[in-house]
Amino acid sequence: MSLHAEFRGLHRGVWVLSGIRLVVTWGFSMVLPLLTWHLATQRGVSAVTAGLIWTVANAFGAVMQWLAGELSDRLGRKPLMFVASLLRVLNLLALGYAIAEQAPIPVIGSLCVANGILRAFFDPVANALVADLVPDTQRVAAFSLQRLGTNVGWSAGPVVAGLALTGGIAYSRLFYWSAPVTLLAAGGLLLIPSQRRGRPREPGEGNGRLANLLAYRHDHRLLWFLAGTFAFFVLQAQMFVTLSYYAARTLHLTQVQVTHLYTLNGLLVVALQLPAVAFIRRIGRQRALLLGCLGYAVSYAAVGLALGHASLLLCVAAVTLSEVVLAPSQQATVPSLAPAGRIGAYSGIFGLAQITGQSAGPLLGAFVLDSVPPRTAWFALALFGVLAAICYRTGSQAASPAPETRI
Model confidence at 217, in pLDDT bands (50, 70, 90)?
A: low
Q: Are 15 and 142 in contact (CB under 8 A)?
A: no
Answer whether residue 274 shows pLDDT above 70. Answer: yes
Q: Check whether 278 has a pLDDT greater than 60.
A: yes
Whether residue 268 is contained in a domain is answered as yes
Mean pLDDT rounded to a whole number for the chain: 84
In a domain, 21, yes or no: yes
Neighbours of 12 (CB within 10 A): 11
Let me know if residue 3 belongs to a domain.
no
**Mean pLDDT of the 10-23 span:** 91
Under DSSP, is residue 51 helix (H, G, I), strand (E, B) or coil?
A: helix
36 closest CA partner among 270, 259, 266, 272: 259
Q: Break the chain down into helix, strand, coil percent, rounded to 5.
A: 85, 0, 15
- The domain total for the chain is 1
Model confidence over 300-355: pLDDT tens digits? 999 999 988 999 999 999 999 999 999 899 988 888 887 776 788 788 888 888 87
Cα–Cα separations (whole angstroms), residue 55 to 44, 51, 52, 251, 302: 19, 6, 5, 24, 25
Mean pLDDT value of segment 267-283? 87
Which of the residue ranges 71-85, 209-223, 300-314 would you say has the lowest mean pLDDT?
209-223
Q: State the CATH number of the domain containing residue 366.
A: 1.20.1250.20
Q: Contact, 235 vs 389, CB < 8 A? A: no
| Residues 172-190: tens digit of each pLDDT | 999 999 999 999 988 898 8
- Calpha distance 60→118 (Å, rounded): 10
Average pLDDT over residues 11-15: 90
Q: Which amino acid is at 58?
A: N
pLDDT at res. 220: 82
Contact 216, 338 (CB under 8 A): no
Rounded to whole angstroms, the Cα distance separating 238 from 357 reads 10
Report yes or no on 244 lying in a domain.
Answer: yes
Backbone phi, psi, residue 197, to 5°: -70, 160
43 pLDDT band, cuts 50/70/90, is confident
pTM for the complete prediction?
0.72
CA 80 to each of CA 121, 143, 190, 295: distance values in angstroms, whole numbers, following the listed order? 6, 20, 12, 35
Q: How far is CA 239 from the centre of its chain?
A: 11
Is residue 207 predicted with pLDDT exceeding 60?
Answer: no
Within a domain: residue 185? yes
- Tell me phi and psi for residue 252, to 5 degrees: 60, 40
What is the distance between the alpha carbons of residues 319 and 61, in angstroms, rounded to a whole number? 25
pLDDT band at 213 (very low <50, low <70, confident <90, very high): low
Give domain status of residue 209, yes or no: no
Amino acid of residue 316: V
Residue 204 lies in a domain: no
Kindly state whether residue 200 falls inside one of the protein's structural domains. Answer: no
Q: Which domain holds residue 348?
A: 10-192+220-398
